[in-house]
């Protein structure tokens, strides 16, 4: 399993590098893409389990690249809302497509019986995790 994850991580890092973003940037873009309400630096830091300072540095970089804009938070003038730009949404979609293509490539190399066995193992793992929670 470790080799698979290492391989995917290496390919993903190449894709990130080609688009000029790092892994931390990706997680912010991912979170903002899926957010259903306005997001602040504080919210991002809490949700991603990192310090506000670390998030601020990553956000500053994304703002400089034109991927995020800051807007006044009408609920709290001391904080700013983070808004994805159109180009950020496009970059995130490119990253997502590249990641899905990597995964698809892995699975197309498996036979039907191998896929069935993998499916059974993954269901077992999911059920074990659900019992723990």
- Work out the burial of residue 26: count CB atoms within 10 Å of its CB; fewer than 13 is exposed, 13-18 middle, 19 or more buried: buried
The CATH code of the domain at 2-95 is: 1.10.10.10
Evaluate the CA torsion angle 74, 77, 78, 81 in order and state its sign: positive
pLDDT at 4 (0 to 100): 61
pLDDT of residue 89: 92
**pLDDT value, residue 65:** 93
Instruction: Identify the segments of the chain with pLDDT beneath 70.
Output: 1-15, 133
pLDDT (0 to 100) of residue 1: 57
pLDDT in tens, 28-63: 999 999 998 889 999 999 999 999 999 999 999 999
**39-40, strands of its sheet edge to edge:** 39-40, 80-84, 68-72
Res 94: pLDDT = 87
Any idea where the domains of the chain sit in the sequence?
Answer: 2-95
Helix, strand or coil, per DSSP, at residue 39: strand
């Amino acid at each position: 399993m470790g080799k698979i994850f290492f391989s995917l991580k290496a390919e993903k890092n190449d894709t990130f590098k080609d688009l000029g973003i790092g892994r931390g940037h990706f997680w912010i873009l991912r979170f903002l893409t899926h957010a259903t309400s306005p997001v602040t630096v504080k919210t991002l830091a809490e949700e991603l389990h990192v310090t506000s300072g670390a998030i601020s540095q990553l956000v500053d970089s994304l703002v400089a690249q034109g991927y995020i804009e800051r807007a006044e938070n009408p609920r709290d003038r001391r904080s700013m809302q983070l808004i994805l730009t159109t180009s950020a949404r496009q970059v995130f979609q490119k990253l997502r497509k590249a990641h899905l293509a990597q995964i698809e490539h892995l699975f197309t190399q498996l036979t039907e019986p191998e896929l069935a066995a993998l499916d059974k193992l993954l269901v077992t793992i999911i059920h074990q995790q659900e019992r723990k929670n």
